[in-house]
Amino acid sequence: MDNRPEQTEKIGPQARIESELVQLDAHNRDIWVLVVFAGAVLVLGALSLLAPSSFWQQNTLEMKIPPQLLFLVMMVVMLLALYMVRREVELRKLRLLNVQHTLKAQAEHSASMVDSLTNVFSRSFLRELLQGEISRAERNNRPLGLIMSDVDNFKMVNDRFGHLMGDYVLAQIASILKSCVRGSDYVVRYGGDEFLIVLSETDAPGSQVVVNRIREKVAEWDRTSRIGNLSIGVSMGLHQHLPGQSVEQAVAEADTRMYAEKRAAQHKGTLAPSAPAQGA
């Protein structure tokens, strides 16, 4: 039985940077060997000019160097080589530390952008994201759709079946939302059981198509994965961004429309009475 550890290929930006650093170090070592060799030649050449009687006799090379001088030259060359090697090691450490700090900062920033439970963007990233999309839409005179969604009967799921089941429902709904949008769109966990969907370059009819698609997929999931006798659905508020609206105004408009739809459904008796949003 082969007990050798299995070797796996490293991938990702960190692996690429490390590979480039290894190659750079190899090139640097070759260069320093040439530098040391050239330095030794230059030292010997200088000695031959300063003390020609020790090197040249009747146009023939005869090296007559006192042991003390030869030892001194060797020490100088050795110390120079050690200094250059130490300097290269320190520079390499600094490069590696800078790379590690950069990658750590990028990893922390990426982690703060994604909600760990639902694997969609977190609210901390919303303002930066939406401000960029609004600026781009207004600059290019393109539409921008917003959908605020809220999970119906979510508080009853938590109360009857516990928060672990509530977490499961949130993760499933988030997965459905992501499957209903394009790669250029964004799903953000706004808070508790609320999700905001940002539809870039999408007009009102296109946004309504996404709303209908979400309703169908959530209804299908509810039929096949019913939580007890509770019917799980989503209330959604659709808003098309208007030129000049701020991030807060656009989100507030979508949120208002979502709650208007939820109240209408409660008035019809299809939903339980509303309650404050509950975190998972």
| Residues 7-29, mean pLDDT to the nearest whole number | 55
**Hunting for tokens 């439970």 — which residue is that?**
117
Length of the chain, please? 280
Q: What band does 51 get if pLDDT is binned at 50, 70 and 90?
A: low
Structural contact between residues 240 and 207, judged by C-beta atoms closer than 8 angstroms: yes
Distance CA 159, CA 163 (A): 8
| Residues 77-105, mean pLDDT to the nearest whole number | 72
Q: Which pTM was predicted?
A: 0.61
Mean pLDDT of the chain: 78
Q: State the pLDDT at residue 225.
A: 86
Q: State the pLDDT at residue 275.
A: 46
**Closest among 131, 129, 171 to 151, alpha carbons compared:** 171
Q: Give the percent of the chain with pLDDT over 70.
A: 62
| Residues 101-120, mean pLDDT to the nearest whole number | 74
| Token representation of residue 220 | 């299908």
**Domains of the chain and any CATH numbers:** 13-113 (no CATH), 123-267 (3.30.70.270)
**Closest among 207, 203, 257 to 235, alpha carbons compared:** 257
| Residues 39-54, mean pLDDT to the nearest whole number | 61
Q: State the pLDDT at residue 91.
A: 77
Residue-wise pLDDT tens digits, 261-271 = 988 887 776 56
Q: State the pLDDT at residue 9.
A: 43
Distance CA 165, CA 158 (A): 7
